[in-house]
């Protein structure tokens, strides 16, 4: 798990495993956003598996799957809404963190254009 901080309240990571989630909680994150569609890679944990583990730990879990190169404004708005609903720092993840980073950047752009 490699976490990169993009803003005071938002970070991204590569693929998380269920056993990573207690450390995520201990690190102070208060919500998770999964940007990786199920079944991209053999052995990848499913959104349902990760959601179940997150809920055991009291972490809100949002599933906004992004196909590489196909970020839509609706996805960026969903990310912004998830971050707004979180009661603290958010950790978004995908295979490498790149899609989550691109989605976050798009959400910031959209927020700037609506001001």
The domain total for the chain is 1
Q: What does each C-alpha distance from 90 to 25, 65, 69, 86 come to in angstroms?
A: 10, 16, 23, 7
For the cut 90, the answer to whether the pLDDT of residue 115 exceeds it is no
Decide the pairing of beta strands 90-93 and 10-13.
Answer: parallel
What is the pLDDT at residue 113? 67
Cβ distance 68 to 36 under 8 Å? no
Residue 47: both structure tokens together: 């959104």
Angle of helix 98-113 relative to helix 73-85, nearest 10 degrees, comes to: 90
Q: Tens digits of per-residue pLDDT, 58-90?
A: 999 999 999 988 999 999 999 999 999 988 999
What does the pLDDT average to over 23-29?
96
What is the pLDDT at residue 110? 87
Long-range contacts of 50-57 (CB under 8 A, 24+ apart): 50/16, 50/18, 50/21, 53/18, 53/21, 54/21, 57/21, 57/22, 57/25
What is the pLDDT at residue 68? 87
Q: How many residues does the chain have?
A: 115
What CATH number has the domain bearing residue 31?
3.90.190.10
Domain that holds residue 98: 3-113
């Amino acid at each position: 798990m490699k976490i990169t901080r993009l803003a005071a309240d938002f970070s991204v990571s590569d693929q998380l495993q269920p056993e990573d989630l207690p450390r995520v909680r201990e690190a102070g994150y208060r919500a998770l956003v999964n940007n990786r569609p199920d079944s991209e890679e053999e052995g990848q944990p499913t959104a349902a598996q990760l959601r179940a583990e997150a809920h055991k730990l009291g972490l809100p879990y949002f599933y906004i799957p992004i196909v590489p190169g196909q970020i839509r404004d609706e996805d960026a708005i969903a990310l912004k809404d998830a971050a707004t609903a979180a009661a603290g720092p958010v950790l978004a993840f995908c295979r490498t963190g790149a899609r989550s980073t691109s989605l976050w950047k798009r959400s910031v752009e959209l927020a700037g254009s609506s001001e």
